[in-house]
Structure 1
Amino acid sequence: MPASSTDSATWSTHKSAAASSVGVGLGFVLSDVDDVVCIDLDHCINTLTGRLAPWAAAILRDAGTTYVEVSPSGDGLHIWGRADVRQGRRIRRPDGTAVEIYGTGRYIAMTGRRHGSCPSILADLSAVVSKLTA
């Protein structure tokens, strides 16, 4: 049965998913059962130099010490943390890039490619979410 981001009966544990040969990788379902959120920064890494766009570096500074990984595209970041986000938001930037904030009803593909020396903890991102959505 295909997994659905809104049907918990189709979800599995990390252990079970990691052992499976079905599908193309692992991901995490954001649900209203907890307060885990993902801030998705599109096209913020220069793939030739590895440098972050200044706007993305500012968001990372605001996020503080939390888990961050390179997105499947290779040129974006997923900032993981905790906050009360019940409605997803897409914030279009003037340069055409976007910041997306999700907390429920979404499947986020995971790469396991940590950005820099980020920790494996989830920080409180409430202030960052408030600032981005103000």
Structure 2
Amino acid sequence: MSVAAGKATVASSTAPDTWTTYRTATRSTAGAGLGFVLSAEDRLACIDLDHALADGELLPWAREIVDRLPRTYIEVSPSGQGLHVWGYGEVGRGRRIRRGEVAVEVYDRERYICMTRRPFENAPSKLADLSKVIADLL
């Protein structure tokens, strides 16, 4: 459940009045962990590679996607088995792609994404344009 840091309410991915600043969220003791709400206004997108890691190693299908990415911030998901790829892009309605062992979700709005602040490999602390990769995935 998403908790609105510094407020006595549950946060909603579609109600900006329940969101707070990064500074407030990192100082809060409410909830467990940190997250980010994607909105159409921020132009940010997240590619969620589910079950992409096995024993800390990137599976071949996920490596193929990661190798096509521009240098952008990628972090290990809370489960330790997936990756969240962060950058700029437009998706519209969120999408889930399931083909064999490939499990990818792509979002740019109305979605809360848990954050770990655990960079994958040598991910830079910057965001790149993911438009081409998003188009290829969809």
TM over 0.5: yes
2:17 maps to 1:17: no
Q: Give, as a single letter, the amino acid of the residue that structure 2 aligns with 1:129.
A: I
1:54 maps to which of 38, 54, 60:
60
Q: Give, as a single letter, the amino acid of the residue that structure 2 aligns with 1:130.
A: A
2:114 maps to 1:100: no
1:128 maps to which of 106, 118, 133:
133
The alignment covers a number of residue pairs equal to: 130
Richer in strand (by share): 2
- CA distance in 1 between partners of 2:73 and 2:92 (Å): 21
- CA distance in 1 between partners of 2:32 and 2:76 (Å): 17
- CA distance in 1 between partners of 2:126 and 2:35 (Å): 17
Q: CA RMSD in A?
A: 0.8
- CA distance in 2 between partners of 1:3 and 1:42 (Å): 24
Q: Unmatched 5+ residue regions in structure 1?
A: none
Q: Is the 8 A contact 1:35 1:85 kept in 2?
A: no
The match for 2:5 is none
The match for 1:39 is 47
Secondary structure of the residue aligned to 2:11 is coil
The match for 2:15 is 7
- CA distance in 1 between partners of 2:49 and 2:135 (Å): 16
- CA distance in 1 between partners of 2:46 and 2:33 (Å): 18
The match for 2:3 is none
- CA distance in 2 between partners of 1:93 and 1:52 (Å): 17
- CA distance in 1 between partners of 2:80 and 2:53 (Å): 8
Q: Give, as a single letter, the amino acid of the residue that structure 1 aligns with 2:46.
A: C
- CA distance in 1 between partners of 2:34 and 2:57 (Å): 26
Q: Work out the percentage of aligned pairs sharing the same amino acid.
A: 53
Runs of 4+ in 1 over 3 A off after TM superposition: none
Q: Give, as a single letter, the amino acid of the residue that structure 2 aligns with 1:108.
A: I
Query: For residues 14-42 of structure 1, what are the alpha-carbon distances to aligned partners after superposition, in whole Å with 9 as ceiling and x for unaligned?
Result: 00000000011100000011210000001
Secondary structure of the residue aligned to 2:92 is coil
The match for 2:4 is none
- TM-score of the two chains, using structure 2 as the length reference: 0.92
- CA distance in 2 between partners of 1:66 and 1:105 (Å): 22
- CA distance in 1 between partners of 2:46 and 2:82 (Å): 12
